[in-house]
Amino acid sequence: MMAPAGVRRSGRILLATLIGFLLAAPLFYMVAGSLMSNEQLSIQPPQVIPSSLHFENYSQALSGVTQVIQARSFLNSVIFTVCAVGLQWMLCVSGGLVIAKMRFRGRMLITVMFAISLFIPLVTTLIPTFIVTYKLGLIDSYAGLILPIAAQTGFGTLLFRQFISQMPEELFDAARIDGANWWGILRRIVIPLAKPATAAYLAISVLTAWNMYLWPLVAAESGSLQVLTQTLALVGTTGQGQVTPQNVIFASVVLVTLPMIVVFLCVQPAFVRGLTGSGVE
């Protein structure tokens, strides 16, 4: 016998909500833990609701002897994300226009190369990429941190190519008849019309750059280029004779992660469009 439809529907809503909270539980726990006293964090059974709110954990994460987040690494993360994504965006939108609308030999070859590169993530070519960067004398510089990442243009170029190729040919013909050159077309037609594709691209790339760990780890040997993921990894690494209290660690993770969670929730639809490969909605 089946339960009545209404009951089944409520049951499904309840189940969906419960599982949602279960999946997000580590995040809620992280926020709760960041507000607890260290004593409360270490008692059994584990506590999930702070008995009193210890906002000083946050100031301790940002200053004093327990400081985890240095202004310098925050700034480095911002510089790295903005420059890598900004530069890559310019390369991708112009490259996308070239492959989508311009006629020249070798277009297919370039497209295929970009497509293949999607399946060779940087982690698999880490060693030779490091060597190339090293031989160019760029290790331990912002250029060495940013350029190899901005150079991963395969995904973005193909995303913009797909979006731009759907723009009507007449638009481009008309602009050319009016005497516009390709740079004019890029600035006045393509970039304004490709805003949805740009949103999708930015949603994915900003998140990726901000969360990147491996390349900054090998490209920035000195502490002055450290980014936030490295900072977190250092306090999170097992067996490092941990001195930072756990509640301060949680507060640090919240400080690093919260901006991205907020951004992510705002740009979620653009993110989905980028993933499913359709710049168009």
Partner 1 sequence: MVTRIPQMPNTAVASLSSSTVRAKPISSRHDGLAAALMIGPNLILFTTFVVVPVVAGLMLSFTTWDITNGFPKWVGLANYRRMYSDPLVWTSVKTTLKFIVVGVVPTVVISLGLAMLINFRFRFVGVVRSLYLIPAAMSFAASAVVWRFLFLDGPGYGVINYVISLFGVTPPDWLGSPTWALYALDIVTIWLSLPIATILYLAALQRIPDAVIEAAMLDGAGPWRRVRFIIWPGVRYMTLLVAIISLLAFTNGSFDLVNILTKGGPLYATQTLIYYIFVNGFSYGAFGYASALSVLLIALIGGILLLLRLLSKVTLR
The window from 21-29, 49-57, 59-67 that contacts partner 1 (CB under 8 A) reads 21-29
Residue 3 found at the interface with partner 1 (CB under 8 A)? no
Which of 71, 102, 174, 280 is in the footprint of partner 1 by CB under 8 A?
Answer: 102
CB of 28 to partner 1, least distance (A): 9
Distance CA 135, CA 137 (A): 5
Residue 81 found at the interface with partner 1 (CB under 8 A)? no
Show the site string, 184-223: x = touches partner 1 by CB under 8 A, - = not: --x-----------------xx-xxxxxxxxx-xx-----
Which of 71, 82, 173, 281 is in the footprint of partner 1 by CB under 8 A?
Answer: 173
Q: Cβ closer to partner 1: 67 or 208?
A: 208
Residue 44 found at the interface with partner 1 (CB under 8 A)? yes
Which of 36, 61, 69, 149 is in the footprint of partner 1 by CB under 8 A?
Answer: 149
Burial classification of residue 270, based on how many CB atoms lie within 10 Å of its CB (0-12 exposed, 13-18 middle, 19 or more buried): buried
Residue 124 found at the interface with partner 1 (CB under 8 A)? yes
